[in-house]
Chains A and B, each alone.
Chain A
């Protein structure tokens, strides 16, 4: 079962498209994986939909650890979405 309340963070252009840096959400129990969460979040606003339009460009971290989109959410408390990193 996913956690009842989840903090979702957005960075770089994902943040700009969504229009938010962070939000607290309560996805339904059917949202079991990171990919499910993307599907669900994409329905929240046109900005969300635009940010997640091409998920090949999206990376995720679950509780601050890199996670493939197929990862189970389990009892995660924080999920972040961002483009591939470009530091260094």
Chain B
């Protein structure tokens, strides 16, 4: 069923979503989430640095298996027809999509919930690390406690 892709190449979220809808003509509800690299438009981050680019490191093998595991967990909790997760690695520039999650179900409630769940767990479990480049150097993005809280809501 599900499609998992971890890739260096940029992707077109619109085209991916169109393809996903076409592949799932019998699903009445499709929910999607796109995470993109913010374009700070020359504005400073909290620390006064301007972010110009981002690099995403991953744990080859485990990144893919964790994403597959998340989709499997979602499929066990909600009746899903299909799921798609695409995650970028390597160098990104502002405006590019980092991640796309799409789920197809018969009804919207299951689709919305499963998509939110996938992203909340992905943020705390999938082994990817962001490094932001600024004009003066590069630093690793720190994990946010809010993400842990968000993921914990789905524990059962």
Q: Which A residues fall within an 8 A CB radius of B?
A: 9, 11-13, 61, 64-66, 80, 82-88
Contact = CB atoms under 8 A, between A and B. Distances in A.
Contact of B128 (A9, A65, A88): A88
B129 A86 contact: yes
Interface residues of B, number: 27
A61 to B, nearest CB: 6
Given A12-B57, A64-B59, A66-B125, A87 B130 contact: yes
Given A11-B57, A12-B57, A12-B131, A87 B126 contact: yes
A8 to B, nearest CB: 13
B113 interface: no
Contact of A85 (B35, B98, B128): B128
Contacts, number: 68
Contacts of B65: 64
Given A11-B59, A11-B129, A64-B59, 18 more contacts: A9-B59, A12-B140, A13-B140, A61-B59, A66-B125, A83-B129, A84-B142, A85-B126, A85-B128, A86-B129, A86-B141, A87-B58, A87-B98, A87-B122, A87-B127, A88-B87, A88-B99, A88-B122
The 9 closest A-B pairs by CB, nearest first: A87-B128, A84-B143, A12-B129, A64-B62, A88-B123, A86-B141, A86-B130, A13-B140, A88-B122
Interface of B: 35, 56-59, 61-63, 65, 87, 98-99, 119, 122-131, 140-143
A85 B143 contact: yes
Given A11-B57, A12-B57, A64-B62, A88 B129 contact: no
A85 B58 CA distance: 9
Contacts of B140: 12-13, 83, 86
A82 B63 CA distance: 13
- Which among B65, B122, B143 has the greatest number of chain A C-beta atoms within 10 A? B143
Task: Tell me what chain B mostly uses at the interface: helix, strand, loop, or mixed.
Answer: mixed
B119 A85 contact: no
B44 to A, nearest CB: 20
A59 B57 CA distance: 15
Nearest to A12: B129
B88 to A, nearest CB: 9
